[in-house]
Amino acid sequence: MGTKYIFVTGGVVSSVGKGITTAAIGRLLKSRGISVVIQKLDPYLNVDPGTMSPYQHGEVFVTADGAETDLDLGHYERFLDQDLSGLSSVTAGQIYQAVIAKERRGDYLGRTIQAVPHVTNEIKERIRAVARESGAQVVVVEVGGTVGDIEGQPFLEAIRQMRNEEGREDTLSIHVTFLPYLATTGELKTKPTQHSVRELRSLGIQPDVIICRSDRPVGEDLREKISLFCDVPKQAVVPLLTMPTIYEVPLVLEEAGLTDYILQRLCLPFSQRDLHEWQEWVSRLKSPTGEVNISLVGKYVELPDAYLSVREALIHAAVAHQVAVSIRWVHAQEMERPGAESLLEDADGILVPGGFGDRGIEGKIRAVRFARERGVPYLGLCLGMQLMVVEYARHVLGWEDAHSTEFDADTPYPVICLLAEQEGVTEKGGTMRLGSYPCRLRPGTRAHAAYGAEMASERHRHRYEFNRDYEKILTASGLRITGETPDGTYVEICELAGHPWFLGCQFHPEFKSKPLEPHPLFRAFIGAAIEHRQRRQAEARALSVPSSHGG
């Protein structure tokens, strides 16, 4: 049996939920014993999102092999519970770059280079490449953007061609649309979906399945209407109501019969579903026995997608402790104002994530100091670890001008400096220290206790690092290096002795966290935050108990 391909497109509006739907489809197929890989086709001309502002694109997700990718790959990995490679992320920029490079080398033997067949052939080759590398039975391909976008047309044309080349029995087209609700008439409208399908059909693609996103229940009459006007069997018109949590989407689609329909349509073997663990996890997520407050101090907090994997990692860890996590989004610049410590007063734990640029840096340092002096559990990710070192140098060692050379090239105490391998690097795209690297953990430390192992492999995305020229004096008074590269070149984890839980890591553990396998550092951090909350509550109760002695 050859590889099967499922193509997922979107219509009516952007941000309709294609990424989550695609991830959920992957999870459902995997639950039936089918091997799956997912690929994202992004029509933008950037080679990758690595140089894009979070305001434009949300977080940049990094794969184990060092590819800077769309945040949807994070959803894919979390739902599939498996790692993906850079082949799972394809952009128009990569496609055109490859085609032009081939033309410059003379690979096309003087032929005129055109969108069809040269661009479309390159797209098809990328899709088939991920199938070859993974050996998966099914490749699920999500096309970014909305049907009708000019930049997406070459990708849709490539899909049209693949459906003919691979055969209709080996390909499936799923179209995700939105049913808007009109309050004035009190009804959901199907006309935008009809227009979207008509646009898709005009490009030569007849959808086999239509998934109808909606904020309100979709009645049988609407399913019949969509089936009639869009030429899709009624059982293939699948309602997808907005759910309280994205992790319910696979369960909703399974209940609607989508998995059985896909297996039947693609002639895949039927097997008993295995969603028990997922169902149990979702049940725990929806029925917490307590709560914990985590203050996340960042510069993009008005756009939570900039910290998407961090948010999900906190959720995974909280469910492991059977509590709900309440994330308090604290803007780093707000922390620079007088009295800003009040923003952190009710924090059970404080987290400073990664980032670039000097905006809000002093506010983040102030948050680190608050956590250190007040005994609040702290987790610093990448930049969050670097600022932990800067804060320690300034306020414990008394080096008021200590800084990272990223923000102050002339600092007399460059406790954070440019990686040696980054010297002379001028291009921005894909030139950082990227992907998975090993880390040796020091026994008897919080990091070692969290992992329960002496070695770990974690994903990186940075240019600056702990300056080991200052190691002896920094570690002489309480700062501890508890994780480093096996050859001892780079510092990977720092902790603070004598603090309930104070840890920073140079890597991005959030990229490896999965619902059924929360990351060890996040799990330990949430555990410490729960203990801190319980201590504070016990102290508050003790203060509220009236004295038994007469006055």
Cα dihedral 533, 380, 437, 485, rounded to 10, equals -100
d(CA 109, CA 90): 26
Bond before 117 cis per omega within 30 degrees:
yes
The catalytic residue among 254, 391, 484, 510 is 510
Answer yes or no: are the C-beta atoms of 253 and 217 closer than 8 Å.
no
CA quadruple 414, 419, 424, 425: dihedral sign: negative
Answer yes or no: are the C-beta atoms of 72 and 40 closer than 8 Å.
yes
The catalytic residue among 57, 175, 462, 508 is 508
Answer yes or no: are the C-beta atoms of 230 and 207 closer than 8 Å.
yes
3-state secondary structure of 415: strand
Token pair listed for 71: 């945040």
Instruction: Confirm whether 508 is a catalytic residue.
Output: yes
Question: How many other β-carbons are positioned within 10 Å of the β-carbon of residue 104?
Answer: 9
3-state secondary structure of 457: strand
Residue 83: Cβ-neighbour burial (10 angstroms; 0-12, 13-18, 19+): middle
3-state secondary structure of 208: coil
3-state secondary structure of 84: coil
Question: How many other β-carbons are positioned within 10 Å of the β-carbon of residue 302?
Answer: 10
Answer yes or no: are the C-beta atoms of 501 and 456 closer than 8 Å.
no
Token pair listed for 408: 């102050």
DSSP class of residue 338 equals: T
d(CA 533, CA 57): 35
Which among 355, 347, 416, 357 is positioned nearest to 384, based on CA atoms?
A: 355
The catalytic residue among 382, 439, 494, 505 is 382
Which among 460, 445, 354 is positioned nearest to 404, based on CA atoms?
A: 354
Distance (Å) of CA 30 to CA 34, 79, 140, 259, 313: 5, 10, 12, 10, 22
54 alpha carbon, distance to own chain's centre:
13
Token pair listed for 301: 């907090």
Cα dihedral 263, 267, 268, 271, rounded to 10, equals 70
What φ, ψ does residue 159 adopt, rounded to 5°? -65, -40
What is the SS3 assignment for 240-274?
EECCCCHHHHHHHHHHCCHHHHHHHHCCCCCCCCC
Which among 498, 420, 500 is positioned nearest to 464, based on CA atoms?
A: 420
Residues annotated catalytic, as ranges? 382, 508, 510
